[in-house]
């Protein structure tokens, strides 16, 4: 399935714009659903370190816990690398007749998925950290806040989403080039510089064959 491209008259241009908007809405809905599923997986995959509430109501954390806090961002990036290309591939399949805007749409869809996932993660996680640490008693272990520590991890989503679009557009055929021209170009590449059916190439080959036949006949006569 993809967005159809029709002739440029007013009626069909309006219809094409309506179809593009409809497919964009469907892609947004898909991004929201995927973001919800990824956020659910993200919260379950991360093993959160905990703060230990001391007798004086202070909180401390071991060095291993501080090191483990990076797992929140690490799993977020892993989800982006695994899921982002799928979103980009869907955007390319649906919007490649538009040309280069398909790459922009893929990047925006990936960014939307990453933003929604980052917002849903804390909601699906252990809850608001301030309220949990305030209600804790001495000796309790309170999991840290489930949130990204670096916003640069969010940039992985659009990059991972646009990657399959760039690869497919560079390796695939040019949609703006007529199919007959692509066939002629491939055939010319197989034969050499001369295109197939070149009159000079055909006539030259015939002359060579005729000359060789004439020489053979003369040798047999002698």
SS3 labels along 12-64: HHHHHHHHHHHHHHHHHHHHHHHHHHHHHHHHHHCCCCEEEECCCCCEECCHH
Q: What is the pLDDT averaged over residues 35-39?
A: 96
Write down the pLDDT at residue 160: 95
Write down the pLDDT at residue 221: 41
Instruction: Supply the pTM of this predicted model.
Output: 0.69
Which comes out higher in pLDDT, residue 213 or 73?
Answer: 73
Domain ranges (residues) in the chain: 10-175, 184-221
Write down the pLDDT at residue 116: 95
Least-confidence region, from 21-35, 78-92, 172-186: 172-186
Burial of 104 (0-12, 13-18, 19+ CB in 10 A): middle
Q: Across the strands, what pairs with 53? A: 59
Q: What is the pLDDT averaged over residues 13-35?
A: 89
Write down the pLDDT at residue 156: 95
């Amino acid at each position: 399935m993809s967005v159809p491209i029709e002739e440029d008259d007013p009626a069909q241009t309006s219809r094409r714009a309506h179809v593009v908007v409809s497919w964009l809405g469907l892609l947004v809905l898909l991004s929201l659903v995927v973001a919800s599923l990824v956020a659910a997986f993200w919260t379950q995959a991360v093993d959160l370190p905990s703060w230990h509430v001391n007798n004086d109501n202070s909180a401390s954390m071991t060095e291993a816990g501080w090191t483990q806090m990076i797992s929140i961002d690490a799993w977020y990036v892993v989800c982006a690398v695994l899921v982002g290309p799928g979103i980009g591939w869907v955007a390319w399949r649906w919007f490649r007749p538009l040309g280069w805007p398909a790459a922009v749409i893929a990047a925006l869809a990936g960014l939307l998925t990453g933003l929604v996932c980052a917002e849903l993660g804390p909601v699906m996680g252990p809850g608001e950290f301030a309220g949990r640490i305030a209600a804790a008693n001495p000796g309790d272990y309170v999991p840290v806040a489930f949130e990204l520590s670096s916003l640069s991890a969010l940039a992985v989503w659009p990059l991972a989403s646009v990657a399959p679009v760039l690869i497919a557009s560079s390796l695939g055929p040019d949609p703006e080039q007529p199919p007959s021209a692509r066939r002629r170009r491939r055939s010319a590449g197989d034969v050499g510089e001369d295109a197939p059916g070149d009159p000079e190439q055909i006539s030259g080959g015939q002359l060579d064959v005729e000359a060789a036949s004439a020489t053979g006949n003369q040798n047999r006569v002698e």
